[in-house]
A and B are shown apart, each in its own frame.
Chain A
Amino acid sequence: MRRNGEITMDTATKDSFIIEGKLALPYQYFAGRTGSRFIIALRDEKKILGVRCGKCSKVFVPPRSTCERCFSNLTGSWVELKHTGTVTGFTIIRYEEPHQPLKPPYVQALILLDGADTPFVHIVNGVPLGRMKVGLRVEAVFAEKATRTIMDIDHFRPAE
């Protein structure tokens, strides 16, 4: 065997190669008590729940345990909302990256549910991109399979 014998370096790129691998990113998400109730209602009863602040008479969706304006405790002051609402803003996502819920292009919109005072973000589907506009009436389509996330509403579609 050659020992300590010198070998000249080959600077040609034939020595380079590429190793494909996977990086793992583990994470945990805790919905908390208020968030859990919201998701469980979506999953088990197909109900969209919000909370009402008695002092400000505002209805928040998704629900939270404290009023963002007067800091009242909102725990337990549940209200049920309709499945319909109005788009108050939107964006079209045109670039692709891993772990997106859909293949671009797709629409993410702020939707103010009927009876709510705060809009929340979700996907709007079934509208040609050119016809997407603020003020569009939409309704929730529930997912067939429970995901135990806000994606238990699969998307919103234009209301009849």
Chain B
Amino acid sequence: MNLGTFLDGAVQKFGRQPYIQFYDETITYEEFGKRVNILANAMRRVGFRKGDFIHVLVQNSPNTLIAYFAIQKIGAVAGPINGWWKAQEVKYLLNDSRGRGLIIEDQYVPILKEIRTSCPDLELVIEVGESPSPEHISFSALMAEGDTRPVKNEGSPEEVACIVYTSGTTGNSKGVLLSHKNVLTDVEAVVKALRLEKQQTVLVFLPLFHVNAMLTSIFSMAMGYRMVLRKTFSASEFWQVVDQYKVNFWSAVPAVYQILLSDPGRQKYDLRSLRFGVCGAAPLSPETFNKFQETFNIPIVEGYGLTEATGVNAINPRDGVRKVGSVGLPLPGQVIKLLDEAGREVPRNQPGEICIGGDVVMKGYFNRPQETAEVIVDGLLHTGDVAVMDDDGYIFIVDRIKEMIIRGGENIYPKEIDNLLATHPKIQEAAAVGVPDKTMGEEVKVFVIASDKSLTEEEVIDYCKKNLASFKVPKYVEIVEEDFPRNPLGKVLKKDLKKWGLTPRPKKTGADEVTVADIFGTMESRVNPEAVKGVTANLAYVITGSGGGNWTVSVKDGAVKVLEGIHDPNVTATASAEDWIGLILGKLDGMTALSSGRLKVEGDLNLLGRSNKFFKKYTPPAAIGEEREREELIRLDKVLSIPQRFATGPVMGKFLNGLKEKKILANKCSTCGRLQVPPREICAECRVRVTQWVEVGPEGAVATPDVTYYASPDPLTGETRETPYVACHFLLDGCKGHETFWHELNPSDIDRAKRGARVRPVWNEKRVGAVTDIKYFEIIE
């Protein structure tokens, strides 16, 4: 069976029963099957073929599912696109998958317009909407063709059914290839695990571009359920929808439960139809878990899964023991092992990496054999999640090996934010981490080291808003003065950064706040001898509020003592600590304070007035620090440029001149026969002059690759080349052993840089007789 024949079976079995309830529109299984056939026939007619990658960027609607299934029917590969992605992210996806087709809803067309010219592999675009652009194929026109002849997918279940991109990051995002068998195996396991009964109504509001909602729509089809489909989650309509359609269950992410709990609107509605709610994508807090069950008297069934393993891999039993904080038991038919670093299974209650085996493990990442080989080892998918399994086999997630942030169920790779912010002209470096959040599970906080002191938090946020999907925009920004915690190699230690959390870093200078105690404590050292000459009086101060206290300034014939407490005052001044500091720093005017009653005076007001001159100006500790900082120190940064000449000599000259003609010349020792490339005057082994020349290559193979992760800036231009890049010893054809040639490899071949990979040189158009006439070598497909 494949997903095409699976649909045929459901249509036959459930015929006139409703499948989709989309607002006022009801679509039966029969009608759904018919529409899928129409679209499949039409798509074939416009030129789509088996195996094509066809992306779908359509918000939740019956058309989204019709598109998915029509693609399955013609044996093509469905590639859902995250509707929150911005143009650059969509461009990356389209160029990574090199998909031929795109079914797009009109609301997303502006995104496409922005990137259309830079997506050369995209051939056919079908637009869903009322008035599609003339350069696109109209979805409704295709549906109007009305060719309902059944389309049968004869393909094997092992074929790829969909390509789902893991997250919206350029560089990190990978296309997960799932086969028909993957999907159908997982669907069967979910049905078994949840012990689903017949005749249910399921509510789907999570986006259909995620595997979670996709699977829900498919297992609903397996069971003949009615699926109430909504465009998006909306708290305001939620309970009314549950009541109106007598919803039995749904699948949600923790944030949804959090929002529903805080919404009092439910009381108007009849919610007796509810059986349970599924929760996945991120850990649910025990607090929410318990409160929700108490309030609604229905269980939350928490599960766990990842796209690479088709979406659902563990779940709590619906009516058996559900353990708070656990993601439950492995799904029937799936293998979950917790392995230590050496790949050995850990004992119960010991942490280990979750590794998943069985028919749900993806076919691999598209076009990324190395990354695939890294995560699928001996048939087990290494998830990067660390968990413990208790004595009953329940799985508790402990930590993530990877530093991914999960915000309200959406995966965010902090590296993407870091890389983006590093391109901001005022930012030297940024590091994003997840910080705990009650509603979203995690929120993004980014620590920033500014290269320009005028940088503001708003600028950081704005820059992110402009360039990232909104769910990835950091909620918290902190511009720090100190360096990030780093390992000896300079890599930022995100774990330690995470510990910094939401508490702002202590400031280096000006950190000492002005305190009332400091004002009185420094008074004796600030006495102005001239002004207190001949004065004898006690001035009392009652400072209220936090940081306040009572002080008496006792002046005896010019000698000043500051005492704690009130001692025989001639005048008593009363003010709050805040106002008192304001008065001392000159931020609050004395007369204003008096007339407004913020400063109260009993006794000799005149004495208090004169006392201003008794003391020199108070300098807050912070200001002293600033003073020091303002001292200018001369530092000269210079780059001397010294002319130099390199004379090639006849041997190197001949080699370099050869490059102009796309020839790679080696010289050959007549004694030992060894080749040298680039050539040298003398054989390094035999110490004899080398006179024979041979042409080698230009193709060859990688002998030793070397990846460079750090490049220092060119002192003359200040430019730093992009890292990582790869240099290799190449063994050119005609050479053997150590007769290798050192050059660069095409940076985009970095993942395939392996010993033995075949390469050819990429020559510059303009060649000047330099080794850089070869731009780099590239790997031959």
Contact = CB atoms under 8 A, between A and B. Distances in A.
Interface string A6-44: 111111110111111111111111111101100110000
Interface in A86-100: 98-99
Interface string B685-698: 00000011111100
Interface of A: 1-13, 15-33, 35-36, 39-40, 98-99, 148-149
7 cross-chain pairs, A with B, having the tightest CB-CB distances, nearest first: A31-B634, A24-B715, A15-B653, A25-B640, A15-B654, A26-B715, A7-B693
B695 A19 contact: no
A28 B636 contact: yes
B482 interface: no
A21 B647 CA distance: 11
B648 A18 contact: yes
Contacts of B667: 9
Contacts of B656: 17
B769 interface: yes
Nearest to B679: A9
Instruction: Give the residue among A15, A27, A35 with the most B Cβ atoms within 10 A.
Output: A15
A33 B695 contact: no
A31 B633 contact: yes
A25 B734 CA distance: 41
A60 to B, nearest CB: 18
Contacts of B644: 20-23
B196 interface: no
A147 to B, nearest CB: 9
Given A9-B651, A25-B639, 16 more contacts: A3-B734, A5-B695, A8-B691, A15-B648, A15-B654, A15-B657, A16-B647, A17-B647, A22-B716, A24-B642, A24-B714, A25-B641, A26-B639, A27-B639, A29-B635, A30-B633
B638 A5 contact: no
Contacts of A10: 650, 654
B632 interface: yes
A3 to B, nearest CB: 6
B634 A98 contact: no
Contacts of A15: 648, 650-651, 653-654, 657
A21 B645 contact: yes
A17 B648 CA distance: 6
Contacts of A11: 650
Interface string B739-775: 0000000000000000000000000000001100000
Contacts of A39: 634
Nearest to B650: A15
Nearest to A25: B640
Contacts of B301: none
Instruction: Give the residue among B633, B648, B692 with the most A Cβ atoms within 10 A.
Output: B633
28 contacts: A2-B695, A3-B695, A4-B694, A9-B651, A9-B692, A15-B648, A15-B657, A16-B653, A17-B769, A18-B646, A18-B648, A20-B644, A21-B644, A21-B645, A22-B641, A23-B641, A24-B642, A24-B715, A25-B639, A25-B715, A26-B638, A27-B637, A28-B638, A30-B633, A30-B634, A31-B634, A31-B636, A35-B634
Given A25-B641, A27-B640, A30-B635, A9 B691 contact: yes
Interface of B: 631-651, 653-654, 656-657, 665, 667-668, 691-696, 714-716, 733-734, 769-770
Contact of B650 (A5, A16, A33): A16
B369 to A, nearest CB: 31
Contact of A4 (B631, B636, B640, B734): B734
B469 to A, nearest CB: 41
B733 A3 contact: yes
Given A7-B665, A31-B634, A16 B695 contact: no
Given A16-B647, A23-B642, A7 B632 contact: no
Nearest to A98: B642
A31 B634 CA distance: 5
A29 B653 contact: no
Given A22-B643, A99-B640, A7 B691 contact: no
Nearest to A8: B693
Instruction: Give the residue among A23, A99, A148 with the most B Cβ atoms within 10 A.
Output: A23
Contacts of A149: 636
B443 to A, nearest CB: 41
A11 B175 CA distance: 57
A39 to B, nearest CB: 5
Contacts of B695: 1-5, 7
A20 B696 CA distance: 28
B640 A33 contact: no
Contacts of B631: 33, 36
Contact of B637 (A3, A20, A23, A28): A28
A24 B716 CA distance: 6
Contacts of A3: 695, 733-734
A26 B636 CA distance: 11
B645 A20 contact: yes
A3 B675 CA distance: 14
Nearest to B675: A4
A36 B634 contact: yes
A9 B654 contact: yes
Contacts of A31: 633-636
A133 to B, nearest CB: 34
Contacts of B665: 7
B714 A19 contact: no
A31 B640 CA distance: 18
A19 B639 contact: no
B663 to A, nearest CB: 9
A2 B651 CA distance: 20
A96 B204 CA distance: 83
A69 to B, nearest CB: 26
A18 B635 CA distance: 38
A16 B648 contact: yes
Given A18-B645, A22-B716, A7 B694 contact: yes
A22 to B, nearest CB: 5
Given A6-B692, A9-B691, A40-B634, A18 B647 contact: yes
B437 to A, nearest CB: 45
Contacts of B696: 4
Contacts of B639: 24-27
Contacts of B646: 18-19, 21
B698 to A, nearest CB: 9
Contacts of B716: 22, 24
Given A20-B645, A21-B646, A98-B643, A32 B633 contact: yes
Contacts of A40: 632, 634
Nearest to B636: A29
A7 B691 CA distance: 9
Contacts of A30: 633-635
A26 B714 CA distance: 10
Contacts of A29: 635-636, 638
